[in-house]
Structure formats: structure tokens, C-alpha cells
Structure 1
Amino acid sequence: MKTLDYLGLDPKSTEKTVDGLQKLLASLQVYYTNLRGYHWNVKGVEFFGAHEKYEEYYDDTAEKVDEVAERILMLSGVPAHNFSEYLKVSVIKETGVVSNSKEIVKEILDSLKVLIALEREVLETASEGNDEGTVALMSDYISEQEKTVWMLTAYLS
């Protein structure tokens, strides 16, 4: 028996949710890699605080990557696990070296905008399939990221 047999979810609607989660997983992986680069390359008077904050962001993103991959598995999917696949699917693109903290924050905000939109799409699809587990996960991510957006826009003001 499969997990879906016990969860009582429709395989066809779950397949759509898994597709959305795969796109989110790929985008989170590229975002994570970009955050690592920001952490390594930030320079200037804000170095200490920014360096620490970007580490916090990539640690949080690594946790989300794991949770999304596990959710895909729970829904009888197989999470992609190589960067060549992520780069084909991700809505977020790789960035080059960025050292200025304000430019980095703008890049992070642009990425969060994309992630929140993806998460809302997954939430809607999961909701249509009565997949409360995925809905709750996406809802939590959105709430957390909206607060981060607020804080980062305040930083840029």
C-alpha cells in the first residue's frame, strides 16, 4: 500500500500538487545557493550583521528544502535531487557575485516575491485536493516570508 491510500487523497489532484512542489523545491534550492553566495561575499560596514542574517536565511531555506522534499515523498512523488534539473525548473535564477548589502536585500526580496507566488499556487492546488498538510505547510511559509519581506523593506527605507 502507498501513503496516499492512508491519507485519503485523490492521486490525480495530488499529482498536480506534487508538480507545484517540485517547482518550489527547485526554486528553493537555487535561492539557497544564492543566499550562500551573499553570505560569503557581502562586504562593507554592515558586514557582521548581514553575514549573520544571510546565514540565518540559508539555514531556514535548507530546512524548507527538506520539508518540501519530504512532502513530495509523502504524496507518492520523487523529489528531484540534482542541480541540472533544478536549473531547468526553477523560477529563481542563479545570481553572480553580489557584495553590497542593499543590492543583496533587493535580490532577496525579488526571490521572496517569486517564492510566495509559487507557495500560493501550491496552496491553491492543494486546497482544491483537500490536502490540508500541504496547505498548512505553504500557509506557514507564506506567513513567515511576509514578515521577512516587511523587515527587509523597512531596512531599505
Structure 2
Amino acid sequence: MTTTNTKAMLSNHLNLDEKKMKKLHGMLDDLLSDYHVFYQNVRGFHWNVQGRDFFVLHEKFEELYTQLYQNIDDLAERIITIGFRPLHSYSDYLKNTIHKEITDISGEEECVNQVIHGLGTLVSSHRKVAEFAGEAGDIATEDMLTAFVGDLEKRMWMFTMYRK
């Protein structure tokens, strides 16, 4: 590859392939959308769960949505760092998410099952985006998403153990 071609392809401030970074931005916006809808679902479970384990689940759902909020902030800031503007409206989130809004659920088992399913969906999405980030040479995004996966998988395991 000649120097001229390299400059044309690597024109962003991180010296990464601009076309790949645009695609990564779209993938990160989709992930951000997934986070927002799942976050709101977990908030709903926190507020509405009923049953003998209310106190435990109420607290665990709060711990989870607090971490989701932190991940949302980190993800949005990463999008800005790589040179783009993150989505920031719920209408955009709803158009770009693979999660469904979940309403009118208050049973402990159903809430926990929805959390496990939502965490699994997030983990799967993270893996795809992290793999593409690595292919694009964006090791910082890949590393951040990989760390998120470790935490989400642990939380998924813990909620799974609750069901046993």
C-alpha cells in the first residue's frame, strides 16, 4: 500500500480505517440502543417485582441497572472518542435495538428469566461488536467490550443460580 492510499484510508484522528470506523460506529449505536432498552426493562423489574424474595431481587436489579448505566456512559463516551456522535433519543433506541420493551411483569421468576435472557442478548451483541472492533484495529473498543462481557456473564450466571 502506498503512503497516499494509506492517508486516504486512515484519515480519522485515531489513524484507523475510516470506512471500518463508520461501520463500527453504527454497531456501537445499535449496542447503545440495546443497553438503553434493557436498562429500562431492568428498572421496571426493580420497581415492580413482587414476591417473597422482593428485597433481594429489588436490590440485585438496582445493582444491575446501576452497572448498565455506567456501561451506557462508557459506551457513549467511546463513540465520541472514536469521532462520532452517539444516539441520544429513545425513538432512535427503539428503532435500533434487538430488545423488546417489557411491561407489566412483576413475578419474581418471570423478571429473573427476562434479565437472564436480556443479559445473554447483550453478551452476544458485545462479542460481535468486539470482534469487528478488533478487525478494525480499534483495540481500545475491543478491550472495553470484552471487559463488559466478563461482567455481564458473571451477572447472568448469578441470576441463573437464583433460579436453581
Question: Does the pair score TM above 0.5?
Answer: yes
CA distance in 2, matches of 1:114, 1:150: 14
The runs of 4+ residues in structure 1 deviating greater than 2 Å are none
What TM-score do you get using the length of structure 2 for normalisation? Answer: 0.90
**Which stretches in structure 2 are left out of the alignment for 5+ residues?**
1-10
CA distance in 2, matches of 1:149, 1:60: 13
Correspondence 1:72 to 2:79:
yes
What TM-score do you get using the length of structure 1 for normalisation? Answer: 0.94
CA distance in 1, matches of 2:26, 2:107: 35
2:3 — aligned with what? none
Correspondence 1:33 to 2:58:
no
Residue 9 of structure 1 deviates from its aligned partner by 1.6
Deviations 1:64-102 (A, max 9, x none): 111111111111111111111100101111001211111
Choose from 1, 6, 17 the match for 2:24: 17
Residue 8 of structure 1 deviates from its aligned partner by 2.1
Distance 1:4 1:74, change over 3 A: farther
Q: How many residues align?
A: 154
Listed as ranges, the matches of 1:38-117 within 5 Å are 38-117=45-124
Look up the equivalent residue of 1:82 and give its one-letter code: S
Q: Which has the larger radius of gyration?
A: 2
Higher relative contact order (CA 8 A, sep 6+): 1
CA distance in 2, matches of 1:152, 1:37: 17
- Report the identity percentage: 37
Residue 146 of structure 1 deviates from its aligned partner by 1.1
**Which stretches in structure 1 are left out of the alignment for 5+ residues?**
none
